[in-house]
Structure 1
Amino acid sequence: MGWNSYDCFGATVTEDEVKANARWMADSLKRYGWQYIVVDFCWFYPHPPGSKASPPPQFRLPDGSYVPWLPMDAWGRLLPDERKFPSAVGGQGFRPLAEFVHSLGLKFGVHIMRGIPRQAVWAKTPVKGIPGVTADQIADVHDTCSWLNTMYGLDMSKPGAQAYLNSLLELYASWGVDFIKVDDISQPYHAAEILGYRRAIDHCGRNIVLSLSPGETPLSRATEVNQLANMWRLSADLWDNWNQLRHAFELAAAWVSYARPEHWPDIDMLPIGRLSLRGPVGSPRYSRLSDDELQTLMTLWCITRMPLMLGGNLPDNRPFDCRLETNAEAIEADQGPYQPRLLQQSDTLIIWQSTDTLTRSKIFLAFFNLSEHPIKTTFRLNRIAAWSSANRRSSDILVRDVWKNESWRTRTRRQLFVQLPPHGCVLYRLSGYENPKQSE
């Protein structure tokens, strides 16, 4: 659970903006479980003040060198741009910013591009720890990203390629990084480099979350990626668009069975709140999703236990955004010991159930209306998974509407009567109810 700078600042987020979001999270969200502050891409790029270039280009000069020259150390490892991140001055990197985030009781993460900087290959920078090996000897110059031209892929069969990744993660660990999002790696799927990053993290001596991007990650790689990554993207970038959100239901259904503790399929960030302040998609705005659609977004992520990474500028949150992000019961469905499964799916109505795996005494039920019209439906409570033995002694159930904050009693043989607005949902939390007279 955390915040990522991409949806609101694209490639141009500054240190002050990161700190403002970190303070807001610490003050308003941390007690609900939100903890990661992630600086997204191109933190190394020397943007002129006010620039909205996203993604920003790098140009090759006649002598083969590059402009703008990106801040980089002697070992070919990129450093933060000091104009955007003044505390990085003097080669300190992200250590001062990470210390600030940690001082708030939060964790710090960075986005990185797969591979090695092209300018390091041109400069033939040495690979740390492997005498005589230079960047040009480990790069695959034919393996490039289609949308950002600053990096080459690594040929992991070459001596020194793994050492380069080890040195990279050694640097990030020294900064105090807790999370890395590696981009341009899972679509197309780069198996050897994914394994390389996994090994580098395991070698660095610090617990660092490995998140892979972008999607769609091939379903045929599900077992492998589940073993190597902590998060892996299921979709291309998801924005405030109903058609994309509707597609997310298909992705969740296909991938939910591959989740396990510390290893999670990841649809994408949550486009809630104030978006695209300086790009990357469209003009500055609050999310174009309606309130019903935003509630559907948050409910789908929570009932299927997807990672929760906020994309909007937190200090600009509206009251409704705050209610979505601070509903403790919805967050319980996402973060607690629950096992989700798809109960029913049609073109218009989808029902998910998620059961407490420890006691089986609590169940979440989510109903989603994908149609353009209101829906009324009924649901027999005896369709849900068996209760724990303690609850089978009583047929009373406490039903709680998570978003409306309303509760009532019913019995297992009865029905729920559900009304759903277009593109809307309800989320119920069901628990066994013991009549006090029966327990005396």
Structure 2
Amino acid sequence: MGEKHYVAKRPPMGWNSWDCYGASVNEEQLLGNARYMAEHLKDYGWEYVICDIQWYEPTADSHWYHKFTELEMDEYSRLVPAVNRFPSAKDGKGFKPIADQIHDMGLKFGIHIMRGIPRQAVHRNTKLMGTTATARDIAHASSVCMWNTDMYGVDAKADGAQEYYDSIFKMYAEWGIDYVKVDDIARVDYAPEAPGAAFSEIELIKNAISKCGRDIVLSLSPGPAKVEQKDFLLANANMWRMTDDFWDKWEHLYGMFERCYAWQGVGCKDHWPDCDMLPLGHVCVCSQEGSEKGHYTHFSHDEQKILMTLWCMFRSPLMFGGELRDNDDFTNSLLTNERIMNMHKNGRKARQILRKDDFVIWRSVTKDGKLYLALFNISEEEKKVKLKFKDIGLSARKKYQAVEMWTNVAKELSNGEKYKLKPHTVICYEIDNYLQ
């Protein structure tokens, strides 16, 4: 038997258009960010370029959705890119010209979809590919998204339901899609013991991907997914959201520590609990905020280091949300820190080993003998702590050579050493040969 084939052996890393362009992203913005990634970030592991929601809507112009608006759709009830926003999609080419350009840069291309079938297809009772059933025959009219009006759910038991999903993923494979983020599907009740509409649609989607002839990463949103459903998720998806939309608010970051603790030990090759996007750099670009278009992240520099340390220690997928071409030096330093990226790439067995009065310690290890140790102060006051080696799996009789990963300063760690951390700060150490 050969080695098992993985589509997401490591947590995917890339850029997603949502945080900066909402529903309004266009071809120039996609390709511009792709070129920036290829030139500046690819060597550090960043490789996916994801076009988020509403790419099939000609009138999309902000983070807001237009209710019951007209969508671009082919004769088989399949949504296709809006040509006014993606000119290369004309003449039925779809996303293939964009995917080809992104692949030529050595990168991968992904899209966002809503679960289900377009309401306009159901109302017009349009055809489906590969079956005599029509859009109306497979629609689950009572299964609707509470925040987006584009789709009806699909009745997984209906004749033609699998063929519909097969047809859209066949089209995505022909376009050259490498990653599909499916929305309105990860936080509803889809446990096998109580199957709901979305649970059944996940199985249809997984089946369609397996037939399409192309490796496609399957990402499920939004969260929070339930930890008790981890077995189903591990069997059916490559990524799933642990949280609702994550934005640049301290309370969101503070809450992520509890979520990561709940999900620790679950992530593995091909299957990754997802902390959601990195709302860093220039976000909300399509929104007018005072005299500015959007804003730079509201997280302080220290809070951004906390975010990157936790996401990389936990091994969440990393999807940057800001307009890459507007990155400043500090933002790029977060994305190109080789020690932090290596922790994300090679860390194993990440776990929280201490939480007391909002002082938190996480650790992970590598196969080649490195230990990563992160000390977080997520409280509102300064913390003074004594680090006892027995609490972190080190020998009290030894001293260890370490490098602080954000400052690149080397030091010797001693048992019982005292540390002083200001509020909302992190220290993260790389310790070599900790087992010797």
Deviation at 1:417, TM superposition (A): 3.4
The question of whether the paired residues in 1 share the 8 Å contact of 2:140 and 2:154 is answered with yes
The equivalences for 1:233-312 within 5 A come to 233-279=241-287, 284-312=294-322
Alignment match, 1:102: 103
Structure 1: how far apart are the matches of 2:101 and 2:404? Answer: 38
> 169-178 or 338-347, which moves further after superposition?
338-347
Give the SS at the match of 1:192. Answer: helix
Alignment match, 1:331: 341
Alignment match, 2:208: 200
The equivalences for 1:57-72 within 5 A come to 57-58=67-68, 68-72=69-73
Alignment match, 1:159: 159
Alignment match, 2:169: 169
Structure 2: how far apart are the matches of 1:117 and 1:383? Answer: 54
Structure 1: how far apart are the matches of 2:315 and 2:434? Answer: 25
Alignment match, 1:350: 360
Alignment match, 2:10: none
Alignment match, 2:229: 221
**Relative to structure 1, is the Cα distance of residues 405 and 230 closer, same or farther in structure 2, using a 3 angstrom cutoff?**
same
Report the TM-score when normalising by structure 2: 0.91
The question of whether the paired residues in 1 share the 8 Å contact of 2:180 and 2:218 is answered with yes
**Relative to structure 1, is the Cα distance of residues 219 and 432 closer, same or farther in structure 2, using a 3 angstrom cutoff?**
closer
Give the SS at the match of 2:278. Answer: coil
**Relative to structure 1, is the Cα distance of residues 255 and 223 closer, same or farther in structure 2, using a 3 angstrom cutoff?**
same
Structure 1: how far apart are the matches of 2:63 and 2:218? Answer: 27
Deviation at 1:432, TM superposition (A): 2.1
Structure 2: how far apart are the matches of 1:142 and 1:386? Answer: 56
The question of whether the paired residues in 1 share the 8 Å contact of 2:21 and 2:63 is answered with no
Deviation at 1:280, TM superposition (A): 10
Find the partner of 1:11 among 10, 20, 23: 23
The question of whether the paired residues in 1 share the 8 Å contact of 2:289 and 2:295 is answered with no
The one-letter amino acid of 1:54's match is W
Give the SS at the match of 1:16. Answer: helix
Matched length: 414
Structure 2: how far apart are the matches of 1:113 and 1:85? Answer: 19
Structure 2: how far apart are the matches of 1:53 and 1:219? Answer: 30
Alignment match, 1:137: 137
The question of whether the paired residues in 1 share the 8 Å contact of 2:394 and 2:434 is answered with no
The equivalences for 1:70-149 within 5 A come to 70-130=71-131, 132-149=132-149
1:27 equivalent in alignment to 2:39: yes
Deviation at 1:419, TM superposition (A): 2.7
**Relative to structure 1, is the Cα distance of residues 290 and 410 closer, same or farther in structure 2, using a 3 angstrom cutoff?**
closer
The question of whether the paired residues in 1 share the 8 Å contact of 2:313 and 2:347 is answered with no
Alignment match, 1:403: 406
Indicate the RMSD between aligned Cα atoms, in angstroms: 2.0
Find the partner of 2:375 among 351, 367, 371: 367
Deviation at 1:347, TM superposition (A): 3.3
Deviation at 1:71, TM superposition (A): 1.1
Deviation at 1:337, TM superposition (A): 4.4
Give the SS at the match of 2:265. Answer: helix
When Rg is computed on C-alpha atoms for both structures, the one with the higher figure is: 1
**Relative to structure 1, is the Cα distance of residues 103 and 243 closer, same or farther in structure 2, using a 3 angstrom cutoff?**
same
Structure 1: how far apart are the matches of 2:63 and 2:343? Answer: 38
Structure 1: how far apart are the matches of 2:418 and 2:109? Answer: 44
**Relative to structure 1, is the Cα distance of residues 81 and 430 closer, same or farther in structure 2, using a 3 angstrom cutoff?**
same
Deviation at 1:56, TM superposition (A): 2.2
**Relative to structure 1, is the Cα distance of residues 398 and 174 closer, same or farther in structure 2, using a 3 angstrom cutoff?**
same
Deviations 1:43-66 (A, max 9, x none): 001127xx32612222xxxxxxxx
Alignment match, 2:431: 430
Deviation at 1:13, TM superposition (A): 0.5
> 366-375 or 89-98, which moves further after superposition?
366-375
The one-letter amino acid of 1:286's match is Y
Give the SS at the match of 2:72. Answer: coil
**Relative to structure 1, is the Cα distance of residues 366 and 280 closer, same or farther in structure 2, using a 3 angstrom cutoff?**
farther
Structure 2: how far apart are the matches of 1:368 and 1:234? Answer: 21
Gaps of 5+ in 2: 1-12, 190-197
**Relative to structure 1, is the Cα distance of residues 278 and 69 closer, same or farther in structure 2, using a 3 angstrom cutoff?**
same
Structure 2: how far apart are the matches of 1:81 and 1:226? Answer: 34
Deviations 1:160-183 (A, max 9, x none): 101110111100000000000000
Alignment match, 2:50: 38
Deviation at 1:416, TM superposition (A): 4.2
The question of whether the paired residues in 2 share the 8 Å contact of 1:381 and 1:416 is answered with no
Give the SS at the match of 1:47. Answer: coil
Find the partner of 1:318 among 323, 328, 341: 328
Deviations 1:109-130 (A, max 9, x none): 0000000001111222222111
Report the TM-score when normalising by structure 1: 0.90
The one-letter amino acid of 2:237's match is A
Deviation at 1:384, TM superposition (A): 2.9
The one-letter amino acid of 1:89's match is K
Deviations 1:393-413 (A, max 9, x none): x945220100001112346xx
> 17-26 or 368-377, which moves further after superposition?
368-377
Deviation at 1:433, TM superposition (A): 7.7
Structure 2: how far apart are the matches of 1:264 and 1:180? Answer: 15
Structure 1: how far apart are the matches of 2:238 and 2:314? Answer: 16
Deviation at 1:219, TM superposition (A): 2.1
Structure 1: how far apart are the matches of 2:308 and 2:45? Answer: 15
The question of whether the paired residues in 2 share the 8 Å contact of 1:223 and 1:258 is answered with no
